[in-house]
Amino acid sequence: MTRPTLYSRSPRARAAAAQTPEAAPAPRKPRSRWRRLARRYRSPLLVALGAALALAGAHFLGAPGSPAQRITQDDIDAAVRHTLEKEPLPHPSVRAFEKVRGSVVRVRGIADGPIGEELEQSVGTGVVIIDNGTILTNLHVAAASERLKVVFADGLESDAYVVGLQPEHDLAVIRARTIPDDLHAATMRSTQGLQPGDHVTAVGFPFGIGPSASAGVISGLKRDFRSPEGQKVLSNLIQFDAAANPGNSGGPLVTAEGEVIGIVTAILNPTEQRVFIGIGFAVPIENAAAGAGLPPF
């Protein structure tokens, strides 16, 4: 019995069918590239999108078309006032005093008593300008007693002697025989550029009390002053209104940055009382530095 063939078509039909390719399956639609990236980086893209939306919103709200959201000068002033009410700025004299106080010394005029004890004849102020113990003070402070002693900021007391005089500026340069290990000289600054109204601080020992700081401003420049006795005229002085009294003589007048611009030398009082009424004078530091042999500014 004849077995059935695999194909019912004739050999010629089968050959023709073999030469005709079968229809290819329908192509699959390619997946979107952006969709694949979105699935892969979903979290970072969400974060970036949120940031972009926030920036866009800020830009939109701050745009010129939204005046209600614009920051005004009143807003800035209110913010500054709020900050200052919470943390007020320190007075300029605070910084000035802290910077110069380590260089300010008490100058004591000493006389020998009848039985060998020391008698304090006068008290003035001085400021260290060289860290070897060189000190600027007033001539009328240095010349007021038989001997001089200085007391440094750390309490060390030392004998001192005169090394230079400038009578025309009422200045004296003295030097301590013993100095502290960590003595620092004050920073000096030229008076060039100073103007009336600039903050200044006078540091010294008024009536022997101190060191004391008093705040004020420069009242004028290039002033002249005649001593009450009329024997001496000082010129080119700095006028200031920071309180100064007997004992302040020879002390530094410093800027808000704590830089020495002058040496307090006189007060003006038309009465017979020797107390401050609002007008003080200081010798410019250029004159004082020259008396100590320091180079000009």
Same domain, 148 and 209: no
Report percent pLDDT > 90 for the chain.
49
Q: Which residue has the tokens 């005004």?
A: 72
Residues 150-160: pLDDT tens digits? 999 999 999 99
| Residue 128 structural domain | 102-176
Same domain, 257 and 219: yes
Residues 215-235: pLDDT tens digits? 999 999 999 998 766 567 899
Band (236; pLDDT cuts 50, 70, 90): very high
At 13 the three-state DSSP class reads helix
| Bond from prior residue into 44 cis (ω within 30 degrees of 0) | no
Residue 74 annotated among the catalytic residues of the structure:
no
What is the DSSP code (8-state) at residue 120?
E
State the pLDDT at residue 262: 96
Residues 161-195: pLDDT tens digits? 999 988 888 999 999 999 999 999 999 999 999 99
Residues 9-29: pLDDT tens digits? 444 544 454 554 444 455 554
Of 103, 169, 170, 212, which is the active-site residue? 170
Residue 165 lies in a domain: yes
Higher pLDDT, 274 or 296: 274
Residues 117-145: pLDDT tens digits? 888 888 999 999 999 999 999 999 998 78
State the pLDDT at residue 278: 87
**What CA–CA distances, in Å, run from 216 to 65, 93, 242, 245?**
49, 9, 4, 14
> What are the residues whose beta carbons fall under 8 Å from the beta carbon of 234, sequence distance 6 or more?
168, 169, 170, 224, 225, 226, 227, 265, 266, 281, 283
Residue 75 annotated among the catalytic residues of the structure:
no
Q: Name which of 119, 118, 105, 121 is nearest 155 in CA terms.
A: 105
CATH of the domain at 156: 2.40.10.10
Residue 132 lies in a domain: yes
Of 93, 140, 212, 219, which is the active-site residue? 140
Domains identified in the chain, total number: 2
Residue 179, both tokens: 């100095």
Same domain, 273 and 215: yes
Residue 7 lies in a domain: no
Report percent pLDDT > 70 for the chain.
68
DSSP 24-39: PPPPPPPPPHHHHHHH
State the pLDDT at residue 260: 96
Residue 241 annotated among the catalytic residues of the structure:
no
**Strand runs (DSSP E) across the chain, as ranges?**
104-112, 118-130, 134-138, 147-151, 157-166, 171-176, 199-204, 212-226, 233-240, 252-255, 260-267, 280-284
Alpha carbon distance 132, 295 (integer Å): 17
Residue 116 lies in a domain: yes
The torsion region of residue 215 among left (phi > 0), alpha (psi -120 to 50) and beta comes to beta
Residue 273 lies in a domain: yes
Give 237's strand partners: 223
